Chain A
Amino acid sequence: MTTSTAEQGVPEVERGGRAGGALAAVGGQNLSLIAALAVVLALFGLLNDNYLSWTNVQVIAEAVTITGLLAVVQTVVIICGGLDISVGSQAGLASVVSAMAFTSAGGNPLAGIAAAVGIGVVIGLLNGAVIVYGRVNPTIATLAGLAAYKGVAQLVSNGAAQGYVLNDSVFVFLSRGRIAGLPVMVWILIVAAVAVHVLLKYTDIGRNVYAIGGNPTAARLAGINLNKYLISAYVLAAVVAAVAGVLLTARTGSGQPVSGSEGLELKSITAAALGGCALKGGKGGIGGTLLAVALLGALENGLTVQGINSFWQNVAQGSLLVVAVVIQQRRSGERAVGLPG
C-alpha cells in the first residue's frame, strides 16, 4: 500500500491506495457523492440557465446552512452510535425562545442568543441523561423529545410566530450580512464544520468518539468514559441546534415554533447516512456529510426551480435515505435478517 500521510486515518477511506493519491484521500463513498452531485448540477444546469449562476449557488448554500449545521452534529452523534431525531424540534424551540428573550430584554440580541444556547444546553443534558442513565434507546428518547420540545415551543408561543427581530443590526447581519463575499450564515456552517472535523480527526477526543461507536465494550475496557462522551455529544447537538434556531429566527425575522424547523431531523439524518455514516456507529466523517448536504440542497433547489410540486421533494428525500442505507449495508456485508447463516 502506498498511502501518503495526508489520507491516513480518514475514516471514510475504504482502502487507502485503491485509486491512488488524491482519489483515495476523498474516499469511495465521497466519490460516488461527488458523481451524484455532478449529475444533479449538470441535469438542472441544462434544464435551466440560471441554475448554475453564482447567485443561485449562493441561494442553495444559504438554504442548506441550517440543515448543514444539524447534519454536522448529527454526524457526531451517529458516529458515537446514537441518534438525535429531536434536533428539528430543538431548533424550533430555540427559535421561539431567542425571539421572545430578545423582545422581553428590550431588543437585546445577545440576550436572545444566550437564552437559545442556554435552552440548548438544558435540552442536550436532558436527552443525554435520559439515554445514558435512563437506559432508553436513543431513537425512542429523542422521538419523545421530538414531540415534547415541539409541544413546549408551541406552548410558550401559543403556536404563533413571536417577536420581530429584523430591526436589530445583529440579526440583520446574521441573515443578510456578508464576509468576504460569502453570506454570514454560510461562514457559520464552514466554521462549525471545520471545528467538528478537526475535533473528530486530529484529537484524542475524536478517536475516542469513533472507538465508542465502533465497539462500546472495547472502548469501555480501554478506559473511555462512555457516559461522559455520549452526554457531551447530545449537548453538542442541542447547542448547535439552538444556533440553527437563532439563524432561523434571523432568516424569517421572528421566532418560529414549527415552520422552518419541522423535518430538519429527517434532513440531517439523511445527509449523515448519505454521507457515509454507519447508523450503528463508528464510521463516518464531516466531509461526506457536507457533500450529502450539498447534494440534497442542489436537488431541492433544482426541483423548486423546475416548479415541481414540493411534496415530491419529501418523496425524493425519503427514497434517498433508504437507498443510502441499503448501499451501506451491502458494503459492510451485513447479513440479512432472517436468513440462516
Chain B
Amino acid sequence: MTTTTTTAGAGVRDLGKRFGEVRALGGVTLDFPAGRVTALMGENGAGKSTLLKILTGDHQPSEGTVLLDGAELVLGSPARARAAGIRIIPQEPEIIPHVSVAENVYAGALPRTAGRRLDRAELRRRITADLDRLGFSRVLDPDLLGSQLTPAQRQLVEILRALTGEARVIAFDEPTSSLSEHEVDALFTLIRRLRDQGVAVVYVSHRMQEIFQLADRIAVLRDGMLAGVLDAAEAGEQELVRLMVGRDLSQLFVRQNVATDRVVLQVEDLTTDEVRGVNLVVRAGEVVGLAGLIGAGRSELALALAGDLPVRGGTVRLDGRGLRPGRPGEAIRAGLGLAPEERKAQALFLRRSIRDNTSLVVLDRLRRWRFVRRGAERELAQGFADRLRVRASGIEQEVRTLSGGNQQKVVLARWLARKPKVLILDEPTRGIDVGAKAEIYQIIADLAREGVALLVISSELPELLGLADRVVVMQNGRITGELDRAEASEERILALAMADDLSGVGGRGADGGPNGHGGRTGPGGPEGHGDPGREKEPRDEGGRP
C-alpha cells in the first residue's frame, strides 16, 4: 500500500527524527491522500506525535522530506506549515479564556478598520458566515467567552481556526478523548464532510471502534517505524494489535520472581478526581507493573499514593498502617518513595549538585542538631553514585548537565538512600538510552531481591512484561484487569487498556485547566520538558472523563 504515486494530498518520504541519541522516527514513508481519512495508530511512544509535529512544522526532520501534492515542502516553522495549508487540531485545545469565540477563532488575524481598531461588525459577519458554512451555528454562540465553552465547543473553536484560510491537510490528535457520544457523532459528520471536500484527514486515536467507523486507511507505527498500512475495510482488530506490538520478545530483560507473601502496600477502593475505586496489593519483593494508555490515571494513582493528590475515598495501608492522604512527608516516613513521571519537572533540582539531589529526603538522618553532616552526606552520595554507576565528573556536578539516564539514576539514588519499603517508579526508562535502561532494570531486580515492594508504571509493554511479576491494567481511572506473568502478553494488556467503551465517555467536562500536576507547562516553560525520544503526547491533566 505504500506506493509513491501521489496525486493530491500530503506525504512523507524516508522521514526520520532523532532527539539526541534517541531515534523517535526512522525511515517513514507514508501518504495522506486528499479526500481520504488516514488513521494513525501505535502504542504510546510509537512516533505518532513526532510525525504530526513534523507535519505542522514544530519539529524539523533529521532526515527525509515532506511532500504536498507531490512537491517537496520545506517546513521551517508552524507558520509556514499553516501557510501551506497544513492544520492540526491538538488534543487539548488552546483557548484564550477571556475573549469571545469569534476573537478566539481569528486570534492573530482579527479584522480591523483603518485605524487599527477591531472591526466588530466584520468579525461578526465572518464568524456567522463560517459557522453557517460548517453547520455549527446552533451549537456555538460566537459571543460566548472562551472560559464558558464545553470541551466539545473548545474543540470546535480549534476546528474553526484550522478551517480559516485554505486547509489542505487536517490532523486530529485524539479528538474524542474529551467528547461525549453525540459530540463525537457531530465531529465525525464534520470530518466526513471535510473528506468529501477533498481535504486530506489524518486521524490519530487509540480507539479501535472510531477508527473502523471513520478511516479509509490505517497506518500503524511501531518504535518510530512504519509497521504497515492497511485498508480499513479489510483490516481486523487482531491484525492491528499484532502490527502495533509484534516485537522480538527474546531480547527482553527477564528477571526471577522473588516475591514473598508479605503484603506491604495495600490499597482499598482508592478514589480521587481521576482514579476510581482502585484495589491493589503489592508484596515484599514483588514487582507489579501498572499498564494503561496515557491518561488512564496511572500517574494520578501514583501521586495519590505518595500523598500529593487529594483523595476522595478509600484507604492506603503500608505494612498494615493506614496512611493519611495528602501528606507526602508522612508517606515518605512510612516508607514510600515515588520517582515521578516527569523527572525534571517533578523530581530534580536541575541547578543543584548530584549530592544535593541525592541527600534531600534523608537530611533528617544526616543532620546533627539541624546541621547537615557534610562528610556523611558526601559519603552517601558518592556511595550511591558508584553503586548506580552515575556517569559524572563527580558528585558536585550540576544535575542539569547529566544525560537523561544519569538523571534518572540520581532520582533513584535519592529514594534508595531512604531505604523505602515501597518504591513507585513512574516511567523509569522514558527517554533514556538502551544501556542505561538495562542498568535501571538491574537496579529494579536488585531492589526486589532486597525485599522492596515495587510498583512500576510503564508505557513500554515489553519492558513491563520483562520486569513485572504481575501486570495491573488501568483504563479511564479504573483497573480493568490483572494478569499474572504467565498469562500476560502485549495483546492481552492492550485489549484491557483499550477496552473500548465509548459509552463511558462523556460526563464530567474536561476543562483541561492547569491544575498544577505534571508536566504541561506552557510553551515557554524553561524546564521540565525536553525528555527527548518519546513522543510528547499532551498529558492528560485530570478533567478527562
Show the binding face of A for B, using Cβ within 8 Å.
Answer: 1, 3, 5, 8-9, 15-16, 202-205, 207-208, 210-211, 214-215, 217-218, 220-225, 282-283, 332, 334-335, 337, 340-341
Contact = CB atoms under 8 A, between A and B. Distances in A.
Q: Which of A220, A221, A282, A283 has the most CB of B within 10 A?
A: A221
Interface stretch (B34-42, B142-150, B356-364, B433-441): B356-364
Contacts, number: 101
Given A9-B355, A9-B356, A282-B351, A222 B345 contact: no
A16 B338 contact: no
Interface of B: 77-78, 306, 308, 328-333, 338, 340, 345-353, 355-356, 359-361, 363-364, 366-367, 370-372, 374, 378, 393-394, 396-398, 414, 516-517, 523-524, 526-527
Contact of A214 (B352, B359, B364): B352
B381 to A, nearest CB: 11
B363 A207 contact: yes
A340 B516 CA distance: 24
B347 A225 contact: no
B308 A9 contact: no
Given A208-B363, A214-B352, A222-B361, A9 B332 contact: no
B328 A221 contact: yes
Contacts of A225: 329
Nearest to B516: A217
A224 to B, nearest CB: 7
A8 B353 CA distance: 9
Contacts of A204: 363-364, 366-367, 370, 372
A332 B400 CA distance: 12
Given A217-B346, A335-B524, A8 B396 contact: yes
A91 B340 CA distance: 43
8 shortest interchain CB distances as A-B pairs: A223-B329, A204-B363, A223-B332, A214-B349, A203-B370, A204-B367, A223-B328, A217-B346
A215 B394 CA distance: 22
B356 A207 contact: yes
A125 to B, nearest CB: 22
16 contacts: A8-B378, A9-B353, A15-B398, A204-B363, A204-B367, A204-B372, A211-B360, A215-B345, A215-B349, A217-B345, A218-B347, A218-B348, A220-B328, A221-B338, A225-B329, A335-B526
A335 B529 CA distance: 14
Contacts of A223: 328-333, 361
Contacts of A218: 345-349
A340 B78 contact: yes
Contacts of A210: 349, 352, 356
A16 B349 contact: no
Q: Which of A5, A8, A203 has the most CB of B within 10 A?
A: A8
A211 B361 CA distance: 11
A7 B448 CA distance: 38
A15 B285 CA distance: 41
Contacts of A3: 394, 396
Given A207-B372, A208-B360, 8 more contacts: A8-B396, A16-B396, A204-B364, A215-B345, A218-B347, A222-B332, A282-B351, A335-B526
Contacts of A337: 524
A3 B395 CA distance: 11
Contacts of B348: 215, 218
Nearest to B338: A221
A334 B308 CA distance: 29
B374 A222 contact: no
Nearest to A278: B351
Nearest to B77: A340
A52 B317 CA distance: 69
Nearest to A5: B374
Contacts of B330: 223
Given A214-B352, A217-B346, A207 B360 contact: yes
Nearest to A199: B370
B332 A211 contact: no
Nearest to B331: A223
Contact of A1 (B329, B361, B372, B396): B396
Contact of B328 (A208, A222, A334, A341): A222
Contact of A211 (B331, B333, B349): B349
A211 B78 CA distance: 37
Contacts of A283: 351
Contacts of B350: 214-215
B524 A9 contact: no
Contacts of B370: 203-205
Nearest to A3: B396
